[in-house]
Chain A
Amino acid sequence: MAILELEHLNFHYRTLRGAVRAVDDISFEVEKGHTLAIVGESGCGKTSTAAAILRLLPKNVARYDGIVRLDGKNVMELSDEEFRKTVRWQGISMVFQGAMNALNPTARVGKQVAEPLQIHFDAEKEEAMARASESLRSVGLPEYVERSYPHELSGGMKQRVVIAMALILRPGLVILDEPTSALDVMTQTNIINLLKRLKKEEELSYIFITHDLALASELADEVGIMYAGQIREIGPSEYVYPSPKHPYTKALLKSVPILRSSESPISIPGVPPDLIESPFACRFHPRCSVSFEECGWSAQEFADILERLRASGEDGGVRWGEAEVEDDLTLVLKPEDGMDPVTYRKALEEAFHEQEESTRAFKAVTKVEVRDGGVAVTLHEATTPYMIGEAHRAACLLLRKGGEKDG
């Protein structure tokens, strides 16, 4: 059973230039006792996803909707106060990026670890402190830490403190936001081993946010690859790591340096896209090494191509008819000579298929259907991942139409 389900979660920031679509229509679920690793480049919306789940909203929210189901209950319907009291830390807790800053420098560690207990259960101070020191010991910290100030501890110790704090209310789900990003490799391994142990002992579920694919492979049962505010590929790690499907995942895996290997890592050309004016349809296509003309078409561009083909008489015997752009991805074609729409639809479909090789834009067509005495053509936007195998989903036009392709 899934402990957390997201359906079409949107979380956009408002800026002067326009809305930043940091979390754009994301859906996934986390199984109880499983770890979902969310991997992606900096600024792709990983942390915003975590913030959206915990409803840690800044002032400049432009859009925040969708469904967040925790243990089957949609927590988006709760009021802020209910959410604070029932979901935060009791249902979902979070280990923040950069533990050194996640602790109040002016308060002793024990007091801070105990604070959630006092907030949620009105615990007596002594009882709370006892629970806090128990929690601190369970993450392998010596007793004196409780009485120390954060600046007296090392980075690794602080990270353990933050983990202890996240676990104090025994939540079912812990979001780990780059929990090891500022630590050295040895300490990283230590923390990862601690997280593994705690997961087994406390039957925790994790959402592990990282940019480090190798680290994610250590802990993850499932991996979600995020790019430009969207999940591009998600699936069990035993599928995704050995046989990545999405070109972005492949590129990402190739960019990881391998120890004692003569192969040098390959970086992805270009920069991550702007989340305000992101590329149309598949947001990765401008940087994608396998993308052809079929990626990133909009309805308008598609209509222009049809117009050009018609003008040059290369329409393969089918009169395209007048194209009417309905929205970004849909256009409606009217048969010219009173043809029956059903026949027209069939003829169009065949024409698109036949000319796929010469006019790659036709590959982007996902749906051709009869509508209002015409035929509606829908292009693939390649944003929502679809099943490509058992529990393995990816959002790529090429995978859908032409099967797997190597870049």
Chain B
Amino acid sequence: MAAPPALGIVATLKDAFRTVPGIVGGGMLVALLAMVVIVPIYAPFDVVSTWGDVSAWVDNPRLAGPEWSDIFVPGTLPRTITIQPEDFRKTKVVSETFGITTIVLRSTFDFSADYFPGELTFRLFTTFKDITPLVSVQLERPDGETVELLRTTPENQAPTANSYPFSQTITVPETLRNIRAWATSNFNATDVAFPKPEVTLFAEGGEDMLDPHRARLMRGEYGIRVIAVAFDSEDNIDGRFLVFGRVFGLAGTDHLRRDLLTGILWGAPVALAFGTVAALIVILTQTVFGAISGWYGGRTDEAVQRASDFFLIIPILPILILISIFYRPSIWAILFVVVAFSLVGGTSKVIRSIVLQVKQEQYVESATSYGASKIRILFKHIFPRVMPYTFALIALAVPAYIFLEASLAFLGLGDPVLPTWGSLLGTAYNNNAMFNGFWWWIALPSAGIIFATVAFALLGYSFDKVLNPRLREQ
């Protein structure tokens, strides 16, 4: 007889986790759950509100690859070097005569990577009374040269920082002028149209030092010196100097300097929660309706089956897109819509066919004969038989819902505030990550999606192996 094998839920789970796909899938699921556990440790802050806040990420390099991309290139890619306010040696001289206060901050750092840094930023925190102090920022190079990067009168009072980026894309114009003048006069360097401050400042002195493509890196001990002339003895300055690396963390950063690892880790609970909750609710309700349909038959059956047909032909993605465009729903609202449109469907048909088979079995007739009511037989005798299949169906449905969420997020129609794998990919796509070679931005969130879906697909396959007698033999 082609009856389903005589197995309960526990026995099925045990058997499933004994098959090779079961072990691998289970292991991958454990890894995913580990990611969920790691999130609060790795990002012990409110990820949802921080993710959209640009100022929270300013100390990270922009569009940096993961640190392990070293293995793809000879040598070492530069890490970010941060000189914190407390790392500066501060000298403060107050002149009695004019009330002029001179403050000098100095610190050194060792630059030993094999590539030029990504960019430089100096942040200045000042406290002053009436008149803004005059501040000069200078870089000391291992070859003894000193370049003045900036001479300015900061406007913001601490704790608000005065931020001075030095890079090709955004830079204080004066800095570029200074660097050009210094390089051409001291080293007779050839001027180019678009010099990069972060290259020239770290290049060996010579003709090519202004050309980003031909400049040669100079390793060694660099120094940063800040001299401020203030007009009140209470005035004070502090600084933070950042030599941004080209790599950051395990997953790199995006165009807003956000740590992608945070996004990817956070994507795991989002994907798991959405995928499993959607799959659980959808498959379970469909199972209940399918079982009712098969068990009661007649008009009930007809109603459930026609409703299933109806929901099966309704294209859910376009509807979700429409809803998303009009309402910008949160992920839970999307979940609600998905569930509402899948109360009956394919699973009700599968379960109905199994119930039609089970209901012919003698023990069901036997239960009727000893006076069990229809509803009792449905829940006590028929349900336990279809539950193992339901588990397999749930496991196989999870990837589908993870994909659905990712597709919506990729189209920019998902939850507007949550970082999810799909929304990371969507942002990457919109920022031309593909053409610019920001591979980590695409590869790692995709890997997350693939990992999760493969895990559940393997689990589903292992259930299938246990429940499908034909596969069982092999």
Which residues of A approach B to under 8 Å, CB–CB?
A: 54, 56, 59, 84-85, 88-90, 93-94, 96-98, 101-107, 115-116, 119-120, 149-151, 162, 165, 169
Contact = CB atoms under 8 A, between A and B. Distances in A.
Contact of A116 (B363, B371, B380, B384): B371
Of the listed residues B361, B365, B369, B385, the one surrounded by the most CB atoms of chain A closer than 10 A to its CB is B369
A84 B385 CA distance: 24
B1 to A, nearest CB: 8
A115 B6 contact: no
B372 interface: yes
Contact of A104 (B7, B373, B381): B381
A59 B384 CA distance: 24
Secondary structure dominating the interface of B:
helix
16 contacts: A54-B369, A56-B368, A59-B297, A84-B373, A88-B368, A88-B369, A88-B370, A93-B370, A104-B363, A105-B385, A107-B381, A115-B370, A116-B371, A149-B6, A149-B8, A169-B370
Contacts of A56: 365, 368-369
Contacts of B367: 104, 115
A105 B6 contact: yes
Nearest to B6: A105
Given A56-B368, A89-B371, 7 more contacts: A97-B362, A104-B384, A105-B7, A105-B363, A106-B6, A116-B371, A119-B370
Given A104-B384, A151-B6, A96 B372 contact: no
Contacts of A165: 366, 370
Contacts of B365: 56, 96
B166 to A, nearest CB: 71
B376 interface: yes
Contacts of B366: 94, 96, 102-103, 162, 165
A196 B39 CA distance: 70
B376 A101 contact: no
Interface in B292-332: 297-298
Of the listed residues B363, B366, B367, B370, the one surrounded by the most CB atoms of chain A closer than 10 A to its CB is B370
Contacts of B371: 84-85, 88-90, 116, 119-120
Contacts of A103: 363, 366
Nearest to A87: B371
Nearest to B297: A59
B376 A102 contact: no
Contact of B362 (A98, A119, A169): A98
Of the listed residues A56, A102, A105, the one surrounded by the most CB atoms of chain B closer than 10 A to its CB is A105
Contacts of A150: 6
Contacts of A85: 371
B302 to A, nearest CB: 14
Nearest to B361: A101
B385 A106 contact: yes
A85 B372 CA distance: 9
Contacts of B376: 119
Contacts of A93: 369-370
Of the listed residues B6, B298, B363, B385, the one surrounded by the most CB atoms of chain A closer than 10 A to its CB is B363
A88 B372 CA distance: 9
Contacts of A59: 297-298
Nearest to A108: B8
A38 to B, nearest CB: 17
Taking residues whose C-beta sits less than 8 angstroms from the other chain, chain B's interface range is 20 to 34
Contacts of A116: 370-371
Nearest to B377: A104
A115 B384 contact: no
B8 A106 contact: yes
Q: Which 3 A-B pairs have the closest CB atoms?
A: A105-B6, A101-B362, A88-B371
Nearest to A117: B370
A162 B7 CA distance: 20
Contacts of B372: 115, 119
Nearest to A116: B370
Of the listed residues B361, B366, B376, the one surrounded by the most CB atoms of chain A closer than 10 A to its CB is B366
Interface string B167-198: 00000000000000000000000000000000
A106 B361 contact: no
Nearest to B298: A59
A94 B369 contact: yes
A150 B5 CA distance: 12
Nearest to B372: A119
A72 B381 CA distance: 34
A84 to B, nearest CB: 5
Interface string B199-243: 000000000000000000000000000000000000000000000
B369 A89 contact: yes
A105 B380 CA distance: 12
Interface string B388-418: 0000000000000000000000000000000
Contacts of B362: 96-98, 101-102
Nearest to A84: B371
A165 B361 CA distance: 17
A84 B297 CA distance: 20
Contacts of A54: 369
B113 to A, nearest CB: 64
A325 B8 CA distance: 64
Contacts of B361: 101
Nearest to A88: B371
A162 B384 CA distance: 20
Nearest to A93: B370
A386 B385 CA distance: 49
Contacts of B363: 101-105
Nearest to A107: B384
Contacts of A104: 363, 367, 381, 384-385
Nearest to B385: A106
Nearest to A120: B371
A346 B367 CA distance: 60
Interface in B345-393: 361-363, 365-373, 376, 380-381, 384-385
A103 B362 CA distance: 8
A150 B8 CA distance: 12
Interface in B123-164: none
Given A97-B362, A101-B361, A106 B7 contact: yes
